[in-house]
């Protein structure tokens, strides 16, 4: 009974979040109330080990929030020291139309999300997109960045949390996930981009008021910030949480800026205090994350997500596992794909690496179907205020579904040819 009630409350909360523009109630407030309500229901229902589960959930939430806060701060530093102004200027001088700029930014998002993680890539390229697009073009570009980031992260062992989980669990090797995942992921990127680019309207006039000049010291700070985004990968290979890498990078940048600015004879842009960048981070979006993650962890603790995975993967037959992977990928548009994937690791009994690659692909790309289905989608809603759940649904859901289906078909074609 508690599982049914919890699921009903969860779905009501998601509907309320999706109708934020109609209800005129902040999605952050709803997510916090939803998360706390579900955990109170868990306690009232007499579940065991609630204290331990909350501690475990709190550790996961801490890791993600610290990662986001550090990434947002580093992006604000890069903004202050002019990196995005330089990129903007270079692209403006190429005299490209909005549609060409859209294609370039989407493609770069797809590529970079395979080397960085898809969440960091989303934050960086949304910042760049905000310089080029306005109105509906900005909404479409933001949606394309979310889809491209999820697609790019799905074929790389370090591009998405769930792909990394499966990789570290030994379910596939690096060459396998790249060779078996890149064509389906590329299909998703190309199809969604073609859909969304058709809707790019009249060109937005890009203006450069003055030449952008960045000194050697500024480039040093920018280089340290960019290197900081590589450190999560290093920490992952050393079996540390990714946020440790970003904290190391942020601490290094902060230390270097403080040392340099006290030795400069004249006042420059380096004189600004790093503390000021914290005031620019979107705390509301972090609380939204906390509420959603609390909700998911409550559903996981009562065993609802395990039940879903067990029901889907009730058979060890190859065709059933394929169908289960496709279905669980669709569910990742609503439910967090991390606990679903964690449950599948224990439940699915197969040594065929290609089937595990399909799982990594479906749960990664399936999250693009709704804006609340992935971390890049949620962060996009917080960074682009106009991108509500309803607008993403109208703009991107159909292209994401079509791309998802075609991507699965490409994977299946590969699988059939090598079976």
Distance from chain centroid for Cα 90: 27
43: left (phi over 0), alpha (psi -120 to 50) or beta: alpha
Quote the tokens at residue 113: 């999300």
| The predicted structure's pLDDT at residue 208 | 57
| The predicted structure's pLDDT at residue 226 | 86
Nearest to 53 by CA among 305, 375, 302, 304: 302
| The predicted structure's pLDDT at residue 190 | 95
CB 359, CB 166: distance < 8 Å: yes
Using the structure block, give the residue that is written with the tokens 């029901």: 311
pTM: 0.76
The pair phi, psi for residue 394, each rounded to 5°, is -70, -40
Helices and strands in the chain, H and E counts: 21, 0
| The predicted structure's pLDDT at residue 6 | 87
Residue burial 249-262, b: 16+ Cβ < 10 Å; e: rest: bbeebbeebeeebe
| The predicted structure's pLDDT at residue 349 | 76
| The predicted structure's pLDDT at residue 173 | 86
Distance from chain centroid for Cα 122: 7
| The predicted structure's pLDDT at residue 210 | 61
What does the DSSP 8-state code read for residue 317?
A: S
| Mean pLDDT, 10 residues at a time, the chain of 419 residues | 85 78 81 90 80 84 82 82 78 77 91 82 86 86 94 86 78 88 95 90 63 75 87 81 89 88 64 72 77 83 78 76 87 74 74 90 90 84 83 92 95 86
Distance CA 73, CA 150 (A): 22
Residue 263: other Cβ atoms inside 10 A: 7
CB 232, CB 243: distance < 8 Å: yes
């Amino acid at each position: 009974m508690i599982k049914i009630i919890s699921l009903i409350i969860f779905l009501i909360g998601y509907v309320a979040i999706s109708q934020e523009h109609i209800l005129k109630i902040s999605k952050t407030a709803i997510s916090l109330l939803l998360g706390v309500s579900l955990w109170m229901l868990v306690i009232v229902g007499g579940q065991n080990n609630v204290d331990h589960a909350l501690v475990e959930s709190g550790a996961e939430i801490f890791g993600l929030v610290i990662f986001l806060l550090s990434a947002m701060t580093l992006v604000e530093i890069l903004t202050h020291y002019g990196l995005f102004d330089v990129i903007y200027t270079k692209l403006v001088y190429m005299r490209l139309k909005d549609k060409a700029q859209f294609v370039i930014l989407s493609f770069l998002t797809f590529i970079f999300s395979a080397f960085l993680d898809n969440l960091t890539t989303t934050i960086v390229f949304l910042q760049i997109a905000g310089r080029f697009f306005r109105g509906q073009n900005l909404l479409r570009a933001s949606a394309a960045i979310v889809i491209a980031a999820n697609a790019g992260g799905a074929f790389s062992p370090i591009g998405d949390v769930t792909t990394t989980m499966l990789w570290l669990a030994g379910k596939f090797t690096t060459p396998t996930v790249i060779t078996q995942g890149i064509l389906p992921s590329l299909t998703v990127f190309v199809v969604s981009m073609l859909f969304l680019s058709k809707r790019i309207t009249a060109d937005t006039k890009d203006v450069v008021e003055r030449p952008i000049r960045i000194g050697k010291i500024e480039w040093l700070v920018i280089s340290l910030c960019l290197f900081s985004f590589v450190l999560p990968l290093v920490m992952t290979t050393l079996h540390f949480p990714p946020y440790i890498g970003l904290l190391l990078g942020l601490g290094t940048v902060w230390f270097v800026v403080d040392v340099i600015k006290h030795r400069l004879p004249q006042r420059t842009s380096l004189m600004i205090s790093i503390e000021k960048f914290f005031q620019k981070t979107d705390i509301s979006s972090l609380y939204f994350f906390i509420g959603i993650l609390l909700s998911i962890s409550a559903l996981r603790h009562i065993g609802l997500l395990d039940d879903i995975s067990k029901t889907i993967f009730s058979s060890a037959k190859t065709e059933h596992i394929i169908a289960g992977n496709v279905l669980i990928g669709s569910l990742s548009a609503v439910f967090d794909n991390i606990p679903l994937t964690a449950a599948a690791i224990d439940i699915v009994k197969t040594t065929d690496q290609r089937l595990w690659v399909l799982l990594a692909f479906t749960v990664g790309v399936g999250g693009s179907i709704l804006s609340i289905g992935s971390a890049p989608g949620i962060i996009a809603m917080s960074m682009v205020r106009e991108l509500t759940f309803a607008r993403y649904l109208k703009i991107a859901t159909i292209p994401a579904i079509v791309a998802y289906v075609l991507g699965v078909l490409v994977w299946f074609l590969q699988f059939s040819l090598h079976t």
